[in-house]
Structure 1
Amino acid sequence: MEPGALLYDPDTGKVGEYQDSAGPYALLRPVGGGREWQADPESLRPATDRERLLAGVHAANNRARTDAPFLVNVPPRPIPDCAPCEELAELRSLARAKHDHSAETDANVLLRKHRSEAHPV
């Protein structure tokens, strides 16, 4: 396992970033930072794309707000035929349906970031 790899821990139901090993355990840290936990390396598997996206949204929800992305009135549009764009737009729709404005904003931030990195103008 390479440091920084995103792995799914079925014992906790969380995605973590591989840090190192300690004795018989793998050390994982939550995406976005936080307290490490020990996991059985035999039970770990690479995180799926969906799990990675959800972990990123969760990290964005937990991140302290130092900017004001919620002041932007026009939500970003997904690029047609781009699976990550469509997944983030779906997360935004689910958050909007639940009236979870924080998660909706986080999905918008992640979609803007994805668009700027994967689809530069």
Structure 2
Amino acid sequence: MTAESTSESHEPGRLLYDPATDQVGEYRDRAGPYVMLRPVGGGVEWQADPAAVRPATDRERLGAGVRAANHRTRSLPSLPPPLDEASRPPRPVPGCAACLALAERREAARAAYDRSAETDANVLLRQHQRKEHRA
């Protein structure tokens, strides 16, 4: 069997080893005289000589999968910092009717998915608390 007929039998997604780049790649398609391989886990495709590529061994497939998982983990966005007290919604002062009314206004806006009105209620509650409940 020739290398040409072997490369024609590759199915998209099959993992092949390219000795020219020393990488395992996912077979995508043919492009002229070359086969197109993509790094495991995604990335920029490269051209490989169909006569040189071969099916990846279990060890090579496992190593490529681990590298792809490590890359994904490193590229995930980090968690946002915890909210400080100024970023949290203000709590109504117990026994204050104005605080309670503004907190209810905020909850109604939240229930209606009206984030603008929710933010407005928080601003008004903070202003009220600074003016009336300054510690």
1:65 is displaced (CA, Å) by 2.6
Return the alpha-carbon distance in structure 1 between the equivalents of residues 58 and 78 of structure 2: 27
What TM-score does the superposition give when structure 2 sets the normalisation length? 0.48
CA deviation string 1:55-88 (max 9, x = no partner): 00110111123699xxxxxxxxxxxxxxxxxxxx
Note the aligned Cα RMSD (angstroms).
1.6
The residue identity in structure 2 corresponding to 1:27 is: M
- For residue 65 of structure 1, the aligned residue among 54, 59, 76 is 76
Q: Number of residues paired by the alignment?
A: 68
For 1:52 and 1:19, locate their aligned partners in 2 and report how far apart those are by CA, in whole Å. 16
Inter-partner Cα distance in structure 1 for 2:43 and 2:30: 17
Selected match of 1:40 from 49, 52, 60: 49
Q: Secondary structure at the match of 1:35?
A: coil
Provide the TM-score with structure 1 as the length reference: 0.53
Alignment-mate amino acid for residue 45 of structure 2: E
The percentage of counterpart residues that share the same residue type is: 69
**Displaced runs of 4 or more, over 6 A:** none
Where does the alignment leave 5 or more consecutive residues of structure 1 unmatched?
A: 69-121
Looking at CA atoms only, which structure, 1 or 2, has the larger radius of gyration? 2
Secondary structure of the corresponding residue to residue 63 of structure 2: helix
